[in-house]
Amino acid sequence: MTKLKIIGSLIITIILVIIIDFFASKFFNYNFSIYEDIITGIIAYIGGYIGNYFVIKKK
């Protein structure tokens, strides 16, 4: 994976987390925090990347 694809996927993941949390905060009436969403998006992306590595890892 090129660095540009990794950065692009990370940005898309963070944007999706922000959008989902924004609508969930309106529906469930809790405080919306963009900083928490950015951290959550980064952690979710890294977790998905590591999980993908172990699933596709060649034996």
- Show me where the domains of the chain are located: 3-56
> Distance (Å, rounded) from C-alpha 56 to C-alpha 28?
37
pLDDT band at residue 30, thresholds of 50, 70 and 90? confident
- Give the pTM: 0.75
Mean pLDDT of the chain: 86
Give percent of the chain with pLDDT exceeding 70: 95
The pLDDT assigned to 58 comes to: 64
Per-residue pLDDT tens digits for 34-57: 888 889 889 999 998 888 888 887
